[in-house]
C-alpha cells in the first residue's frame, strides 16, 4: 500500500513539473509564441492549445524565429526564452528590445539577430554555437571568444559607429567571417588559422588595424575572390599577414605587412639564449660579458638563418625538427661549442641554450669606420660617427685619429680637444667584442666663404686606429670616406661608405653600408624595421657583420632577407637613427661589376619608405698605367720619426702626401722623416722599377 502511494505521489510531482508555465512578462512576445510553430517539424509551440507555454513545450522546440516585423505588435522583452534549452536554430528579428540574454541556450548551434535597439547581448556559454549573424544593432562590445565552435560569423552594422570592440579569440573552427562596421578600429584574427573566406568593410572615419597573422602560410592563396577588404579612402587599413602572403584586388589605402608582431602567427617553438665571453676564465659562471651583435647561425639541414641582437640575446622561432646552432665570428680566434635542439612538435615549446665563448690563442685586432649621420651641405653642420671595435681576443689600448680638410671644414664639437685638421682620442681597455664611438660635428664652408664649398664638391675624411701592439689585420686600421656635398638630402637613405667606385683588387672584400632613417611624421614611431634584400649573386650574406646601431636592435637573416628590427624604439617626430653593417662581395665578380643595395624602412603601420639605390662599381681608378709593386713595405707604421721604405726592387722615387692630396716632400731614398709633421693620416707613394705602391701612414 505504501509503495502505491509513493508511486502516485511521484506521478503528481512529475505532472506538476511538466505542466510548469513559463513566465513571459511581455504580452506581445507571449502572444507571438502561442501562435508560432517549430520550423523544424512544423508543430505548434503551444502544443496543448491552452494559451500558455509550459516548460515541457519550450523544451521541445528545435528551430525558432522570433519577429515583430511582419504585422506583429512590438516586442520589448524576450524573457522566457531561457526555457527553450533545446533550441538549436534561433532567428530574432525585432526592433524594440535593448537586452537579450541567451546564455541558457547551451544547445544553440545557429543564431541570427536583427534588432536596432539591441545594446546588451549575453551569449556567454554557447559552446555549441557554429553560426552567428548580427545585423542592425546598437551593441558597443561583443565577445565571441568562448564560442570556439563558430565556423561562420557575419556582422553588418554599416553606418553605425556603436560597435567598437569585437573579440574573436582563438578559434580553430572559424572558416568564414564577414564584418561591415564603421565603428571598429581593430580586429584580431591571429588565433583563427583555418579561415577560408572573408569580407571586411570598415568605412569609418579612422584608421583600422586587422591582424590576419595566423601561422597559415597558405592563408591568402586559398581565398581567390573570397577575400574582400575596403575602408574609407581617406583613411588607412593596415592588415598584418604572415610573411610571404599576397592579396589582390584591394583598395589603394589597404597596407599589408607582417610587422604587427615580431613573432610568427599560429603555433611555434622558441629557441633563445645568450652569447657570453669568458672574460675571467670561469666558464662564464658570473661577471662575464654578453657579446652584443654576436651572430648565431641556425640550420635544420635545409634552411639557414641568423640572429643578432644588441644585448647579446639570440632568438629563433621554429616548427618541429632538429636544429643546429653555431655562433659565428669574423675570425677563428674564439672557441665555442655548437648546440643541437630537437622539437618533436610545434606546441609552443621553448629551449634556452647559453653559449660560453673562450679565446683561442693571443690575437690583437681592431677596426675603425666613419659613419655619416647628417649629410654635408654648404654652410650647414655635418655630423659623423667614428666607430672602432675590438675584433681580437685581447684587451687593447691605443689612439683613434680623425683627419679632415680644415680649409673647408670647421670643427664644432667632439668629445676631445682637437688639433688643427685632426682629432685624436686615446682609448684604454677596449675589451674583446667591445665597440666605442665618437660623434663629431663639423661646419661646412658656404659658397661665399674662402675656399668655397659648393654642391657637387667632394669632402675627404680619414680615420685610423692604432693599437699599442701589433695588429693582425692592418687593412681595417684605417678608413677613407669621400662625401659628396649636396643641397638637400633624403633623411631615409643608404650609402656605400667606400663610394661609387672601388678598385677591383677589393673584390671579395668587405663593403660598408650605412642606412639612416628619420621619423618625418608628427607622432612617435613605436617600432621601425629596416628590410634589405641582399643580392645573393653578388654578396655573401654569411659574412654580414653589424658595426653600429643607434638604438637597441635585433637582426634576423632568413635566406637573403635581412631585417633590422627596432622594437619599442619610440622614435619621436624628427628624431633620427641608423644601422651600419659590412658584407663581403663574392670573389667571383669581375672588373666593372656593379653591386647595389637598397632598403625598405617601415615606420609602425605605414607604407614602407624605399631608400635610394647605393650602387658601387669595381673599376680601375685613375692612378695612371703603372703596375702595382706589392713588395713595398713601409715601417714603422704608425710612426713619429724616421720611416723606412723597403721594396724588393730598386726605388725610383718616393713622395709624401697629406690627406687632402697635397705633395709635402719627395725624394729617391729609402727613408722619410715625419718627426716635424702633425699627427694624422698621410700617404707614401713609392715608385720602383717593378711598379708603384701607395701606403697609408699614421703619424702618432
CATH code, domain with 655: 2.60.40.1220
DSSP string, 153-189: EEEEETT-----EEE--S-SS--EEEEEESS-SEEE-
Q: What is the pLDDT of residue 231?
A: 61
Q: Sheet holding 594-597: strands in order across?
A: 501-502, 614-618, 594-597
Beta bridge partners of 672: 643
Contact 347, 317 (CB under 8 A): no
Q: What is the pLDDT of residue 428?
A: 93
Burial of 112 from C-beta contacts in 10 A (0-12 / 13-18 / 19+):
middle
Structural domain contains residue 658: yes
CA distance 564 to 153: 38
Q: What is the pLDDT of residue 60?
A: 96
CATH number for the domain including 340? 2.60.40.1120
Give CA 384 to chain center in angstroms: 26
The residue among 59, 110, 112 whose CA lies nearest residue 89 is 110
Structural domain contains residue 683: yes
Beta bridge partners of 64: 90
Q: What is the pLDDT of residue 27?
A: 94
Structural domain contains residue 151: no
User: Are β-strands 165-167 and 186-188 bridged in parallel, bridged antiparallel, or unpaired?
Assistant: unpaired
Residues of the chain below pLDDT 70 = 1-19, 71, 158-161, 203-204, 217-234, 248-251, 415-416, 418-422, 468-469, 621-627, 660-661
Structural domain contains residue 471: no
Q: What is the pLDDT of residue 647?
A: 84
Q: Which of 359, 394, 421 is the last residue of a domain?
A: 359
The residue among 267, 219, 224, 222 whose CA lies nearest residue 243 is 219
Alpha-helical (H) ranges within 19-162 are: 27-35, 55-59
Host domain of residue 310: 269-359
What DSSP state is assigned to residue 91? E
Using CA atoms in the order 414, 420, 423, 427, what is the torsion angle rounded to 10 degrees?
Answer: -110
Q: What is the pLDDT of residue 492?
A: 95
Q: Which of 359, 377, 404 is the last residue of a domain?
A: 359
Structural domain contains residue 107: no
Structural domain contains residue 118: no
Q: Which of 359, 375, 393 is the last residue of a domain?
A: 359
Q: What confidence tens digit (pLDDT) does each residue in 203-252 have?
A: 667 788 889 898 886 655 444 434 556 665 567 788 888 887 777 666 67
Structural domain contains residue 456: no
User: Are β-strands 110-114 and 89-93 bridged in parallel, bridged antiparallel, or unpaired?
Assistant: parallel
CA distance 459 to 453: 9
Q: How far is CA 530 from CA 60, 502, 548, in A?
A: 63, 26, 14
Give the torsion sign (CA, 56, 62, 65, 66).
positive
Contact 686, 693 (CB under 8 A): yes
Give the torsion sign (CA, 328, 611, 576, 436).
positive
Number of domains comprising the chain: 2
Structural domain contains residue 669: yes
Amino acid at each position: 500500500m505504501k509503495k502505491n502511494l509513493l508511486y502516485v505521489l511521484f506521478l503528481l510531482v512529475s505532472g506538476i513539473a511538466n505542466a510548469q508555465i513559463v513566465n513571459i512578462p511581455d504580452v506581445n512576445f507571449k502572444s507571438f509564441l502561442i501562435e508560432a510553430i517549430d520550423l523544424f517539424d512544423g508543430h505548434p509551440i503551444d502544443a496543448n492549445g491552452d494559451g500558455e507555454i509550459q516548460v515541457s513545450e519550450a523544451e521541445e522546440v528545435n528551430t525558432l524565429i522570433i519577429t515583430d516585423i511582419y504585422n506583429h505588435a512590438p516586442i520589448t522583452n524576450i524573457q522566457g526564452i531561457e526555457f527553450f534549452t533545446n533550441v538549436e536554430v534561433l532567428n530574432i528579428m525585432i526592433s524594440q528590445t535593448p537586452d537579450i540574454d541567451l546564455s541558457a541556450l547551451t544547445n544553440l548551434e545557429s543564431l541570427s539577430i536583427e534588432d536596432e535597439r539591441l545594446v546588451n547581448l549575453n551569449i556567454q556559454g554557447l559552446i555549441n554555437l557554429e553560426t552567428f549573424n548580427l545585423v542592425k544593432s546598437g551593441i558597443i562590445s561583443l565577445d565571441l571568444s568562448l564560442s570556439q565552435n563558430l565556423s561562420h560569423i557575419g556582422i553588418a552594422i554599416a553606418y553605425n559607429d556603436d560597435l567598437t570592440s569585437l573579440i574573436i579569440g582563438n578559434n580553430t573552427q572559424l572558416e568564414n567571417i564577414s564584418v561591415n562596421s564603421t565603428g571598429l578600429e581593430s580586429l584580431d584574427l591571429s588565433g583563427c588559422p583555418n579561415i577560408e573566406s572573408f569580407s571586411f568593410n570598415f568605412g569609418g572615419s579612422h584608421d583600422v588595424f586587422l591582424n590576419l597573422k595566423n601561422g597559415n602560410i597558405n592563408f591568402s592563396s586559398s581565398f581567390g575572390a573570397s577575400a574582400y577588404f575596403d575602408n574609407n579612402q581617406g583613411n588607412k587599413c593596415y592588415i598584418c599577414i604572415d610573411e610571404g602572403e599576397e592579396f589582390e584586388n584591394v583598395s589603394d589605402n589597404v597596407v599589408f605587412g607582417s610587422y604587427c608582431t615580431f613573432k610568427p602567427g599560429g603555433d611555434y617553438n622558441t629557441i633563445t639564449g645568450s652569447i657570453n665571453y669568458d672574460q675571467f676564465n670561469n666558464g662564464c659562471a658570473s661577471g662575464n660579458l654578453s657579446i652584443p651583435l654576436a651572430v648565431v647561425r641556425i640550420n635544420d639541414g635545409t634552411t639557414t638563418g641568423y640572429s643578432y641582437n644588441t644585448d647579446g640575446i639570440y632568438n629563433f622561432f621554429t616548427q618541429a625538427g632538429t636544429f643546429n646552432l653555431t655562433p659565428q665570428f669574423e675570425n677563428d680566434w674564439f672557441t665555442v661549442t655548437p648546440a643541437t635542439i630537437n622539437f618533436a612538435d610545434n606546441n609552443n615549446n621553448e629551449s634556452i641554450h647559453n653559449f660560453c665563448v673562450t679565446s683561442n690563442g693571443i690575437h690583437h685586432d681592431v677596426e675603425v669606420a666613419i659613419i655619416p649621420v647628417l649629410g654635408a651641405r654648404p654652410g650647414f653642420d655635418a655630423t659623423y660617427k667614428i666607430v672602432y671595435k675590438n675584433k681580437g681576443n685581447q684587451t687593447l689600448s691605443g689612439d683613434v685619429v680623425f683627419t679632415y680638410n680644415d680649409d673647408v671644414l670647421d670643427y664644432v664639437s667632439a668629445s676631445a680637444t682637437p688639433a688643427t685638421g685632426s682629432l685624436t682620442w686615446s682609448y684604454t681597455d677596449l675589451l674583446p667584442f667591445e665597440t666605442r664611438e665618437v660623434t663629431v660635428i663639423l661646419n661646412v664652408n658656404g659658397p661665399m666663404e674662402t675656399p668655397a664649398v659648393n654642391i657637387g664638391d667632394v669632402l675627404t675624411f680619414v680615420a685610423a686606429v692604432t693599437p699599442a701592439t701589433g695588429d693582425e689585420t692592418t687593412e681595417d686600421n684605417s678608413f677613407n670616406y669621400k662625401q659628396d656635398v649636396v643641397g638637400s638630402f633624403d633623411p631615409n637613405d643608404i650609402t656605400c661608405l667606400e663610394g661609387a667606385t672601388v678598385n677591383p683588387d677589393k673584390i671579395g672584400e668587405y663593403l660598408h653600408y650605412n642606412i639612416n632613417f628619420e621619423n618625418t611624421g608628427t607622432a612617435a614611431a613605436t617600432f621601425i624595421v629596416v628590410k634589405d634584400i641582399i643580392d645573393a649573386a653578388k654578396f655573401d650574406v654569411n659574412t654580414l657583420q653589424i658595426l653600429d646601431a643607434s638604438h637597441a636592435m635585433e637582426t634576423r637573416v632568413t635566406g637573403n632577407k635581412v631585417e633590422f628590427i627596432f622594437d619599442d624604439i619610440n622614435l619621436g617626430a624628427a628624431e633620427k637613427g641608423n644601422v651600419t653593417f659590412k658584407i663581403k662581395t663574392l670573389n667571383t665578380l669581375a672588373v666593372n661589376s656593379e653591386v647595389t643595395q637598397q632598403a625598405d624602412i617601415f615606420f609602425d603601420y605605414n607604407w614602407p619608405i624605399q631608400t635610394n639605390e647605393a650602387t658601387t662599381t669595381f673599376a680601375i681608378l685613375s692612378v695612371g698605367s703603372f703596375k702595382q709593386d706589392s713588395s713595398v713595405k713601409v715601417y714603422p707604421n704608425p710612426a713619429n720619426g724616421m720611416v723606412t721604405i723597403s721594396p724588393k726592387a730598386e726605388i725610383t722615387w718616393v713622395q709624401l702626401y697629406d690627406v687632402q692630396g697635397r705633395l709635402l716632400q719627395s725624394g729617391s731614398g729609402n727613408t722619410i722623416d715625419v718627426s716635424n709633421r702633425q699627427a694624422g693620416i698621410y700617404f707614401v707613394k713609392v715608385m720602383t722599377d717593378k711598379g708603384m705602391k701607395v701606403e697609408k701612414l699614421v703619424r702618432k
